[in-house]
Structures are given as C-alpha cells and as structure tokens.
Amino acid sequence: MVRVSLRVNDEVRSVDLDTRTTLLDALREHLQLTGSKKGCDHGQCGACTVMVEGQRIYSCLTLAVMHEGNTVTTIEGLGRPGNLHPMQAAFVKHDGYQCGYCTPGQICASVAALDEIKAGVPSHVTADLMATPQVTADELRERMSGNICRCGAYSNIVDAIIEVARSPA
C-alpha cells in the first residue's frame, strides 16, 4: 500500500492504494468518482478517458501511483446537472449518446481534442503540417477514434463538438 495524493477536479484527494491500482480504479473505487467508465480495462475503448495535467489519457492504462501530485480532471469536474459544461450541453442537444456508458469518455476526449487543435497539434488527416489545423468533421473523426461508441452516436457527437468549437467562447 502506498499513499497517493491527486488534485482531482480542483480538490486534493489523498488515498492509500495497492500499488497495482490503476488511475481508473482509484477514481472509481476509492474516490467514488464513477463517471469515468471501465469498458475494457485494456486501453481499447476510451470509456475511461480523463485529463491529466490537461492532456487526455486512458486512465485504465496507467497506475495511480505514477500520478502523485498530478492534476486530474474527470467528467465530474467539467459540469454538473443544472450547470453543464458547454460540451455536455451540446451532447444533450444533439443526442450525442444513447446508453451513456462511453459518454463521459467521449466528452473528456472532445474537450481535450479541441484544445489540441487550438494548440496546433496536427493529426493523421491534417493535410498541411505547417498550417494551423482547423476544426473539421474529418479532423474530429480522426482525433476521436480512440473512443468507441457501440450505440453508434458518432454522427451526432461530431455535430455536438463542431457546435461547441464554433460557438463564441
């Protein structure tokens, strides 16, 4: 067992953990933040996506002890019912989900993907690596492909993200 301190959603949380505990299980089983989902536990589905130090990460593929002192943002840190983050509101408006299980991961990945585009990070489909990447449906489909939605809400998810990207901040 080892004591781990994380700054989760702007709150410092310290917890004694088995060193084999993934960041995902630390959030879900020890901090009761069950918004981050376990779909595969193998980095194949994206349901566990959270942001660590502002970067999206599969929280099932990393151990909690590797993140001592890190800042972690989960779906619970983005917004709450009654005070939704613009991305959460756009997912509701565009019906960018069905069963809801991949949804927190999709939303965290969406927010991070827009930040990556804003920061000029190119993707596999960016035609001109020297130009500033743009928010296009193709860019988003490429950048969001690490998050599976078996209900098949992809078309609506892309509509939701584009609306957020194009609305005045």
Binding site for another protein (CB under 8 A): 18, 20-21, 25, 28-29, 32-42, 44-45, 47, 74-76, 78-82, 84, 88-89, 91-93, 95, 97-104, 107, 137, 140-142, 144-158
Q: Which is nearer to another protein, 117 or 149 (CB)?
A: 149
Minimum CB separation from another protein for residue 67, in Å?
A: 17
Minimum CB separation from another protein for residue 68, in Å?
A: 18
User: What span, in angstroms and rounded, lies between the C-alpha atoms of 41 and 62?
Assistant: 10
- Is residue 50 a contact partner of residue 59, using CB atoms and an 8 Å limit? yes
Q: Which is nearer to another protein, 130 or 167 (CB)?
A: 167
Minimum CB separation from another protein for residue 10, in Å?
A: 16
- 66: amino acid identity, one letter: M
Sign of the Cα pseudo-torsion (29, 34, 39, 44, in order): negative
∠ CA 11-13-16, rounded to 5°:
175
